[in-house]
Amino acid sequence: MDQAETRLRQAVAILRITLGVILLVTWWKNLQDGIYTADGIVGLFNYLFNDNGGGPAFYQAIINGTILQVPGLFAIFQLIGELLLGLGLLVGLFTPLVAVGAALFFFNLFLAYFGGNEWIWTYVLLTVSALVTALAQSGRAWGLDSLVLRRLGEPPIGPIW
Amino acid sequence: MSIQAPLWPIAGARAIIGLLWLFSLRWKLPPDFMPSEGRGLMDWLELEVTHAAFPLYGTLVEQLVIPNFTLFAWAIFLAELIVGLSLLTGAFTRFGAFIGLGLAVNLGIGLLEVPGEWPWSYAMLAMWHGLFFVTRAGRVWGLDALRARN
């Protein structure tokens, strides 16, 4: 690995670690604010769709027909999912899979806030960052994926680490 | 062992962040640097004074930038235009990324305590410009690659 290559991987690793920290800090704040409860999830989407004025009609219809039918169940899924995404990115384990999950999550936020009062580019930045983290397999620098790679070699089915 | 990290995703991100800067020009267009509706550059500068995270920064904006608004507004407009075009096209990318890093850090410091702003946005923006700088991101899908070839 030449110097430029090393620098590239390490630069994206910093991005990955930052995404992990952002997810974990937000997770902790959401936990304290009671977002990961049925009432919290209903309140969140109420804010997004009514107070903030975001979310295209098709997106609101999907959320109303799925998540808001079982907010308590979704709250548990969100509690565990966001924690796992944050930890996975922070330590760089199975980074491509975790980062694609994070990109989908961030893209979901992009849709939820689209057309509202917030600066929508925040969610573009987050989604792009997660996608680049996945494509660069950035857990191979300063991440546990480097240990997995050394022990098991290249993944047998697609870029898992 | 494959350890090749592709540069094209970073080149894609570079172009998207170039677009981000160009889109952000919409609400600070000369001659009055105000959009037809919503907040303009002066409104944001006043918010930076009212909600200054660092008193020295607030004082600087209040006593230096706002009294010379037209001069600074042109400087900000041109800087963002240059960064946007540089990153979008991949021309003089390290220069564009360096200026963009300064703009992002300035935004982060100025808007840190402004209600409704999320400081992580500017941290990420700054980080991306640092990444473009160190990886020389114009080498792929950029005019810097053509310059290097010639």
The complex's ipTM?
0.89
Distance CA A131, CA A13 (A): 13
Which chain B residues are closer than 8 Å to A18 by Cβ? Answer: 123-124, 127
Scan for tokens 């799925």, then name that residue: A66
CA distance, residue A111 to nearest chain B CA (Å): 17
* CA pseudo-torsion sign B136, B138, B139, B144: negative
> Using a CB-CB distance cutoff of 8 angstroms, which residues of chain A are in contact with residue B101?
none
Query: Are B142 and B89 within 8 A, CB to CB?
Result: yes
Please count the other Cβ atoms lying within 10 Å of the Cβ belonging to residue A57: 8
Residue A118's contacts (CB-CB under 8 Å, 6 or more residues apart) are A52, A54, B116
- Residues of B near A (Cβ–Cβ under 8 Å) read 1-7, 9-10, 12-13, 16-17, 20, 23-24, 116-118, 120-121, 123-125, 127-128, 130-131, 134-136
Question: Nearest Cβ partner of A124 from B7, B16, B136?
Answer: B16
Rounded CA-CA distance A26/A31 in Å is 8
User: Predicted confidence band at A1 (pLDDT cuts at 50, 70, 90)?
Assistant: low
B93 and B64 in contact (C-beta within 8 Å)?
Answer: no
Tens of pLDDT, residues A147-158: 999 999 999 888
**Rounded (10°) angle between helices A3-32 and B119-135:** 170
Is residue A42 predicted with pLDDT exceeding 90? yes
Query: Quick one: CA dihedral B126, B131, B132, B136, positive or negative?
Result: positive
- State residue B1's pLDDT score: 38
Q: For residues B126 and B147, what is the distance between their CA atoms, to the nearest angstrom?
A: 26
Predicted model pTM: 0.92
* B contacts of A102 (beta carbons < 8 Å): none
* Per-residue 3-state assignment (H helix, E strand, C coil) for B26-94: HHHCCCCCCCCCCCCHHHHHHHHHHCCCCHHHHHHHHHHHCCCHHHHHHHHHHHHHHHHHHHHHCCCHH
Which of B131, B140, B144 should one mutate to test binding to chain A, selecting the residue with the greatest count of A CBs within 10 A? B131
Contacts of B129 in chain A (CB under 8 A): none
Name which residue leads in pLDDT, A105 or B6.
A105
